[in-house]
Structure 1
Amino acid sequence: MQYIPDEPLTKAQKYARTATIYAEIAAMEQRKTQARELGLPALVRLVKVAQGNTGQSAHIGRFLLSLYNGRAYPLDPSSLRCIDYDLHQYCLCVLAMDYAPEQEVHELVVGGHQIWEQFKARWGKRS
């Protein structure tokens, strides 16, 4: 429900509210830019890990699949306790970037469609 004031707003109040909204939009855009700057390199690193054969590859692969389609590939967040701290931080960067995505996560990686198909085949099965 939208708040409707008892008294009409003055021009100064309208201007102040408009300025506040624009400032909030600018701050949101700045956070979004920062999240993308941190998230893209983190995503590339996570893709490489998921394509590997380490004990952490499955956890990272499932994390990436959950961002791709959380209903089809749900993730138990406690599984992220099994990965190294640096990889955990990369996951958080990618998750922050994916908060308000302009593109789907797989579209941010060169060859992403094929890579995610490989992830589905390899890590998409439920155990």
Structure 2
Amino acid sequence: MNDSLINALSQVWAYQRRRPAIIRSGTQALNRLIPIALSRTPAGNTVGHFLLGLYDGATFRFNLKHLHGLALSEFEDCIRVLEMDYMPEVEVHQRIDQGESVWKELMEVWRTQPQEYVGHRLANQRNAALCPQRSREIKTDGIRAFDNLIHVVEASTGQSLIAGLFLMSLIHPHHYRLNLTDLRGLDLRLFEDCLSLLRMDYFTHAEGRTP
């Protein structure tokens, strides 16, 4: 057994040990996001389309840049739910009571509404919540993740298309909206790279909005 296979298996085993905690955290985050998603607000628009994208990613393709308009707590809850939805035991709407009814209501509220974006919302609050050391860690992880994803795209592997679409959805979001469920097709390391890059993108944007 070669070293790369051993490392991959070790990552999967470690992830499976963390999985119960990921589900608990993701379910709690989902329950916090539902009332926001049902509100007719800019944040509700973004969170509503995000949750619908996890339910039916082909129909509800998501503009990742709209995450910039969320408060830090809302953004982190979206990341927790996205992490929970990787290798899902059940579909996202089955994680909560009366999920079918909730998602039906989400579709009634947001199916015909365009995704909106409020770029200046709560930028200063985001910066205040992030210490300099954590900011450096997020940037370091994000740069490393970007390099890894670029390498995968250039290598033309079986996961290159998903990685490429993810990157293009960050670079040209108006032309490349992401099917969020496609991220399930990435291996664990690449999926976690996507999360790292999303965090760097969010906080880099927030810092750029600081007066």
Q: TM-score interval w.r.t. the shorter chain? A: 0.7 to 0.9
2:15 corresponds to 1:28: yes
Alpha-carbon deviations, 1:47-76, whole Å to 9, x = none? 111122333111110000000011011110
Count of residues in correspondence between the two structures: 114
Q: Which runs of 5+ in 1 are unaligned?
A: 1-12, 14-18
Taking structure 1 as the reference length, what is the TM-score of the superposition?
0.78
Alpha-carbon deviations, 1:68-127, whole Å to 9, x = none? 011011110001111111100000000000011001000111011011011111112253
Alpha-carbon distance between aligned partners in 2 of 1:39 and 1:78, rounded to the nearest angstrom = 21
Alpha-carbon deviations, 1:23-50, whole Å to 9, x = none? 5443121232221121010000011111
2:88 alignment counterpart: 101
Q: 2:97 aligns with which of 89, 103, 110?
A: 110
Structure 1 residues 26 and 53 mapped into 2: Cα distance closer, same or farther (>3 Å)?
same
Structure 1 residues 51 and 126 mapped into 2: Cα distance closer, same or farther (>3 Å)?
closer
Greater fraction helix: 2
Alpha-carbon distance between aligned partners in 2 of 1:28 and 1:80, rounded to the nearest angstrom = 26
1:65 alignment counterpart: 52
Structure 1 stretches of 4+ with a deviation exceeding 3 A read 19-25
After superposition, residues 1-127 of structure 1 pair within 5 angstroms as: 23-125=10-112, 127=114
Percent of aligned positions that are identical: 28
- Equivalent AA in structure 2 for residue 104 of structure 1: E
- Equivalent AA in structure 2 for residue 50 of structure 1: A
Structure 1 residues 78 and 22 mapped into 2: Cα distance closer, same or farther (>3 Å)?
closer
2:147 alignment counterpart: none
Q: Which runs of 5+ in 2 are unaligned?
A: 115-211
